[in-house]
A and B are shown apart, each in its own frame.
Chain A
Amino acid sequence: MPDEILSVEHLTVSLHGRVILDDVSFALRRGEFTGLIGSNGVGKTTLLRAILGLQPYEAGTISVNGEPRRRHHAAIGYVPQKIALDSDVPLRVVDFVTLGLDAERWGLRRRSAAQRARVTDMLEAVGASHLASKRLSELSGGEQQRVFIAHALVREPHVLLLDEPLANLDPRNVQEIVALLHRLARDHDVAILLSAHEMNALLPVMDRVVYLTGGHCASGPTSEVVRTDVLSALYGHHVDVVQIHGRVFVIAEPNDATDDLPEHPTLTVH
């Protein structure tokens, strides 16, 4: 079994008095593609932010490579949701990706030939070489995603977190980005955690899934988690997992109960 590079154990996060994440546990492994699936508002971004050290939490541990996570970790790369840029911002794609090497350091520094080569290689790996001289603000949604991925990967993190990168892309772009990430995970031995509210686009490449609902999660290999019995137990009431033409649909009745979370332990299936 490949090594666990990131391990989340019994994580509990509250926001504005409400418990958002309750006893969430899962692990990421290098070279694997994990989907963080859940409907809007369920806490996916909160979870990612907790891992990044941007969100305080009441209980649980987050460890990177066996050690408890520091406030910011060089081993964790991040691709935020689409950012809006003024059309006048004077920054080229290649400069932005180069910035990924050492953006948090003070002072000015000339980049070595090796560093510049790494940037060029990274741009090529994400299929954005032809965009190198373009203004960052002139990129389309799909192009921006690629560039941000390059920016995050250029310093060779062990983990890459992506916050709903597919949300505003058309189907073709979605397919391409997913395939790209899958390839990058294997080629660069990176653990990828990608949050989405719809898992169908990820099914072909997803090794594991972290399925989040009502503050609880079920995690494990896709085929073992996305099943009627497992998800029904997770939701606390019956849900149907339906397969039509190779696509999976989870049909859950809207919860017309109170705000109380159902009493169920986190299920982790390996």
Chain B
Amino acid sequence: MNWLFAPGLFTSAPVHTALALGTVSATVCAVVGVFTILRGASFAGHALTDVAATGGAGSVLVGVSPLTGFLSGALVGAGAIGTTRGRGGHQQEVATGIVLSVATGLSALFLYLNATTSAATGVTQRVLFGSLFSASSSEILPTLLVGALALLLTGVIARPLVLSSLSVELARARGVRVALIGGAFLLTMAVAVGLSALTSGSLLSTALLIGPAAAAVRCTSRLSHALLLALTFGIGCTWLGIVLSYDSYNWMPKNQSLPVSFFIVVAIVVVYGVCTVGSTRGRRV
């Protein structure tokens, strides 16, 4: 068992912080992720992560916490996507893609400026790939608050959200303010992305947002079950990733442990793969 639970795992403070932050992100991402899939908004979710990166990269220059940086980035991205909405189809994707690449270009600039003007090292790593073990425990409370708010908002808009995701016309006929609901949901997506960027870095946070949810909807057709499954998958993979990353310190030749985000992503992809294969066998395709 020492192989899995390396000595010091349970007493290590960074591990505790990592578990706390990871659990909150995984929870918010699982819930928001299921609705993202319902709406077919995966690409938008992905675009948000790139803008979150810009925020994260800029946070060191400006001197705010990574969480603040990621969240602000994601929120700005949500605003940008919200205003370019409505053209539909390929045009929408191209426009979103352009927003995404400007954000990435800015990330490049900020990271370059970081490297040349400040003494902080490994910022590129941290922003893009995450370094959960070096997160500060002061981030736990704000993360919890923001996450709780996002979940609350999702619960409030749940019903009109589902209807407007299925058919905008039908929703409008029922008096649903489709634009308002869409905007509110973008907000929750921004929070989910911001939190998961903290856990896994911006480049990999899509996996946490979409992976567990995508795996869950393959396994069940009930919305409530999908939410529970996504939660289980997301939190499970996150914990596993944290544990394995801590252990890998002992496995690797030069005692360079493998990043948490790497393990989380691999775990998520494995889960997704199993669920996909399992469901195509069961269902007649």
Tell me if chains A and B make direct contact, with any CB pair below 8 A.
yes
- Which A residues fall within an 8 A CB radius of B? 52-54, 71-72, 76, 78, 80, 83, 85-86, 88-92, 95-96, 99, 102-108, 133-136
- Assess whether A133 is in contact with B169, with CB atoms less than 8 Å apart: no
**Cβ distance B285 to chain A, nearest Cβ, rounded Å:** 9
Most buried by A among B170, B171, B226: B170
Instruction: Tell me the nearest residue of chain B to A89, going by C-beta.
Output: B38
Per the bound structure, the CA–CA distance linking A108 and B152 in Å amounts to 10
B48: Cβ under 8 A from any A Cβ: no
Given A103-B159, A103-B171, 11 additional A-B pairs, CB 8 A:
A72-B173, A90-B220, A91-B166, A91-B221, A92-B223, A95-B223, A103-B160, A103-B174, A104-B160, A104-B163, A108-B158
Shortest B34–chain A CB gap in Å is: 7
Verify B173–A88 contact, CB threshold 8 A. no
Q: Beta-carbon contacts of B169-209 to A below 8 Å, as 1s and 0s?
A: 11111111000000000000000000000000000000000
Q: Is B156 an interface residue (CB 8 A)?
A: yes
Flag if B217 contacts A106 (CB, 8 Å). no
State whether A106 and B170 are in contact (beta carbons under 8 Å apart), knowing that A88-B217, A91-B162, A134-B221 are contacts in the complex.
no
Do A80 and B170 form a contact, CB below 8 Å, given A88-B214, A90-B221, A104-B176? Answer: yes
Q: Which residue of A lies closest to B37 (CB)?
A: A88
One of B38, B156, B175, B225 near A72 (C-beta < 8 A): B175
Q: Are B162 and A103 in contact (CB under 8 A)?
A: yes
> Complex formed: what's the CA distance from A2 to B162 in Å?
37
Chain B, interface size category, equals: 20 to 34
Is B218 at the interface (CB under 8 A from chain A)?
Answer: yes
Look across to chain A and name the residue whose beta carbon is closest to the beta carbon of B166.
Answer: A83
A–B pairs, 19, beta carbons within 8 Å: A72-B175, A76-B173, A78-B174, A80-B173, A83-B167, A88-B37, A88-B214, A89-B37, A90-B216, A90-B225, A91-B38, A102-B159, A103-B159, A103-B174, A104-B171, A104-B174, A105-B159, A106-B160, A107-B159
Most buried by B among A72, A104, A133: A104
Q: How many Å lie between the Cα of A11 and that of B252 in the bound state?
A: 77
Partner of A95, one of B169, B176, B222: B222
- Residue numbers of B with Cβ under 8 A of A are 34, 37-38, 40, 155-160, 162-163, 166-167, 169-176, 214, 216-218, 220-223, 225-226
| Residues of the B chain whose Cβ atoms lie less than 8 Å from the Cβ of A134 | 221
Contact with A99, one of B156, B163, B225 (Cβ below 8 angstroms): B163
List the 9 closest pairs (A to B, CB-CB), nearest first: A72-B175, A103-B163, A90-B226, A135-B221, A78-B173, A90-B217, A104-B174, A52-B173, A88-B217
Least Cβ–Cβ distance between A222 and chain B, in angstroms: 27
> Chain A residues near B160 (CB, 8 Å)?
103-106
CA distance A88 to B275 in the complex (A): 12
